[in-house]
Each structure stands twice: as C-alpha cells, then as structure tokens.
Amino acid sequence: MKPTLSVVIPALNEEAALASTVETLIRIFGPLFADYELLIIDDGSRDRTGSIADRLAAADRHVRVVHHGENMGLGYSYREGIRLATMEYVCWLPGDRGGLTSDDDLANILKAVGRADIVLVYLLSENRRWQRRVISRTYTRILNLLFGLNLKYYNGGNVYRRELLTRMPMTSDGYGLFAEILVQMMKSGHSYVEVGMHNRERSRGDSKAFRLKNWFRVGRSVLSLLWRVRVVQAWDRLRGRARATPPVSFSL
C-alpha cells in the first residue's frame, strides 16, 4: 500500500516561486502517495505570498495555509507544520524549491518514503558559492564530532515517520531544528535510507539561512542539544533509565 505524506512549506516573501513550487509538487505526488497534504506556512510575508497561498488552497483540497502576522522563524514554522500534519510521514521543502532541486531528484527521494523510519537526504554535488560550501561542510564536521556521528548533511529535506516526530522534544525556532531532530533520531536507533540529490544555486534572491541572527539561533540550539544528548541522556543511562541504540541503515 502506498504511504501518505505531509509536506511543510515555510514561505517568507516567496511570491515569485510559491505557485510554481506547489504546482510541481502536486504533479509529482499524485502517482506516489495514497494521500498527501501541502501545509504552506506564510511566515509573516510582506509581499503577495499570503494571497497566492490562499488562492492555491482554494483551488486544490491538498493545500492548507497558515498565516503568521510576523516572522517566527523557519524552525517555528516547521514545528507548527509537524503539529498540524495528519499523514504518516512528514518532510519540509522551501517555498522556492523549484530553483534548488530537480524534479528527478525530488522523485527519487519521495520513492523511498515508507522503506524506513527516515529518508535521509544528502548532497551528491554542490553548485552553491564557495563560501556557503565551506560553511556547510564545517558545520557538518562540527556536528559529527560533537555527537559521534558520520552523517553527510544535516539540513536536507529529510522525511520522517510522523509518530516519531510527535514524541520528540523540539525547541529551536531556526535552522538548528534540523540538526536537533536528526541527531535525536540517530541516537534513538531509528531505521533510515540515504538518498542523494544534486544541489543548485538559487535562481532568485539570497538564502535566508546565512543571516547573523540565524547563526546565533543555531549556536544556541546546538549547545542545548549537546547538553541533552551528551549529559542528560548519559546520566539517564548510568541510572538505567535509557540506553543508546545504533541507527539501522537500509540500502536502496
């Protein structure tokens, strides 16, 4: 039986790309899932993103919209989308997805949904500016070192079994949420499959991930996660309340 999927689409001032993103997803999802929903989170946009999202929702029953009166952050929007999701699996995609990932790569990722608890997305190739590549690789190496992992990428559009997400503590309102979720999933021993994608430079605008305030949020999130994973859980294991379980990987 085909799985079902909720896609959280945080959108901040994405009037130029949102409609194309949603129309592409609707076209790809139909043959792959028994049912699906697209949760557009209009995160305080100051352009026509909100009205475009409402129009898309009126035209297709699979689309739902939430409006924020002010910008709450990517992590906050994703957490809200997880809370509102109703399908078996959950992932996130940006409102400007059309310029970043090819349809073939997205279809390969989605075809793996249901084969494990997690579809873990990593980069097969890099077409971003060298500064962003250096920052991304450094961030990955630091997280692997801190948490004893060997992951290839932390900020991908990973797909998770929804019931696992609803039981997991999540605190970050920024980009650090992706590492917060993934590290806890890996440490809990859930099964996963890895699927690669080719990354492309944005066709419009600049990434919002590299703003200074986002890096402060990420730093706080990593420190909080380090405390929970390395200190609190280690103490619980010593007291016999928890045990570490290695993740299980499946090949495609």
Question: What is the predicted pLDDT for the residue at 37?
Answer: 98
Return the amino acid letter for 118. Answer: I
CA–CA gap between residue 14 and residue 94 (Å, rounded): 9
159 vs 217, which has greater pLDDT? 159
Length of the chain: 252
200 vs 28, which has greater pLDDT? 28
What CATH number was assigned to the domain covering residues 4-241?
3.90.550.10
DSSP letter (8 states) at residue 248: E
Residue ranges per structural domain of the chain: 4-241
- How confident is the model over 121-139, as pLDDT tens digits? 998 877 777 788 888 899 9
Burial of 118-157, coded b for 16+ CB within 10 Å and e otherwise, reads: bbbbbbeeeebeeeeeeebeebbeebeebbeeebebbbbb
- How confident is the model over 79-111, as pLDDT tens digits? 999 999 999 999 999 988 655 678 899 999 999
Cα angle 42, 194, 14; round to 5: 20
Question: What is the predicted pLDDT for the residue at 209?
Answer: 53
Q: Are the CB atoms for 193 and 251 separated by under 8 Å?
A: yes
CA–CA gap between residue 244 and residue 125 (Å, rounded): 33
